[in-house]
Structure 1
Amino acid sequence: GKASMTSLLQDKLYELHSQAPSPSKDFHHFTLTRTEVIWRSWRISLRPNQENIFPKEVRQPHSDFLLNEQLHKQVQNIFGNKMLEYTLNLCQGCYDFLPRMPDNLIMHILSFLNANDIRQLSKTCKKFQQLCSREDLWES
């Protein structure tokens, strides 16, 4: 069932980092674990007299993050709407188990698919794009 599948998940579910859109140079790091979200921001100033400012950090359990519209806006501004939706889904326990499986297991499953299905699957995410284009898959 669901409980046994979630035990296979690594603690870190997702991690993103990016520079804020111009004109800001600030750097943002967003980590989603099985229990909490961690948002770190570094203010980057181009003024030479300004000290390097330590990162600001917000840590919240999933339940608090789901209600934190201010943080939703930040995630949306930096990483986009699709990524916000994805992280909200993860916080509600909607896990994408398939791409999280070990590569050798996915490769075994792929060996049962026909070429057209493999091509379709390769369009779903980066991980499947990489695995579906491996030489050893097409040799069998």
Structure 2
Amino acid sequence: MKCSSCPVAGACVGQTAETSFACGMAERGLESDRNWIRHASGEAETQPAEVLEAPSSAPEFPTLIDQVVGLVGTLVSWARSGFSLAPGIERRRRLTICLACPLLDRPSGRCTACGCLTAVKPWLASADCPQGRWGPPGPS
């Protein structure tokens, strides 16, 4: 069933369990979110503007060994946290920060500072940005 805020006339991407986050995006009412939903649902002919930007040159990522060390550290921290996931609003906040960051390689969806996948790392409650742009929530 489609949410009441759905910007899509046909079948919306938010109608599946894996992508139901799109309904929350639609309810926020931001035009950029609504454009993304239209594109992801196949209703928009062109990609949202932020996806169309091409990198000025080939991105440089950390060395493979540095990426592996960072990944292992992130996974160990996540395991120590009990494999907890960040709340939805925190994931969206983190992803918004990543999408605005000049270190993001948009075509690959990867950070050029640490090599992480921005579609994954913001979900991990214990994760943090190596540039200090976001981190795990402090003690309550």
TM-score category of the 2 structures, normalised to the smaller one: under 0.3
Say which structure is richer in strand. 1
Task: Tell which has more relative contact order, 1 or 2 (C-alpha 8 A, sep 6+).
Answer: 2
Tell me the TM-score normalised to structure 1 length. 0.23
Tell me the TM-score normalised to structure 2 length. 0.23
| Structure label with greater radius of gyration | 1
